[in-house]
Amino acid sequence: MDFLNPQSDVTLARSANTELLGLGDQIYSRLLRERIIFLAGEVRDEMANSICAQLLLLSAEDSEKDIFLYINSPGGSVTAGMAIYDTMHYIKNDVATVAMGMAASMGQFLLTAGAPGKRYATPHARILMHQPLGGIGGTATDIRIQAEQMAITKRTMSELNAKHTGQTLEKIIADSDRDNWFNAEDALKYGFIDHVATKDGQVTGGKK
């Protein structure tokens, strides 16, 4: 690894990876060169690791230019999603988020966590907010510990949703008690997003 020239490391890594990719992956690789990352499907550890790596790679290449995270996801693992969330806020870059199709559960959370002024949804995107879900089992002690951890997770996510939307914590907790669906315009009014993007070229601008 050339520590004196990180730019060359980025170029070499991309070149080596592209040789191993199929056509579909080559498309995503080409988008990555345009600083576009896709979060598509369930949020799981493998996906989160890949997205975190892409965020870190793009930040290493240029710590000033925006990164664009497109989201079409039904949600998934809280811990995997939190890894993406923390990386988004760890790097210096603004991460613009765009909901396409569906941004549900953890997808909604990551959409709303985008840089202020740079959170978008396409006109027919659907956004779902609800409380974290999880199964509980085991001994009585295990059940108590799991219930406590779920309560902590719910509180943490509610506090962060309140922070990013401008809603009160009490309203977030009440509104997420059951499945709560929003269309793009409703999501804009609620504070999940800042813009409804109808044309190419509108996903830009805003201030951190």
Ramachandran angles phi, psi of 145, nearest 5°: -65, -45
Residue linked to tokens 């000033």: 64
Q: Which residues does 84 contact at the CB level (< 8 Å), separation at least 6? A: 39, 43, 48, 51, 52, 55, 110
DSSP H/E element including 40? strand 36-40
Q: Which of 105, 164, 176, 195 is flagged as catalytic?
A: 105
| Closest C-alpha among 21, 202, 198, 196 to residue 111 | 196
Annotation says 105 is catalytic: yes
Annotation says 50 is catalytic: no
Residues with catalytic function: 105, 130
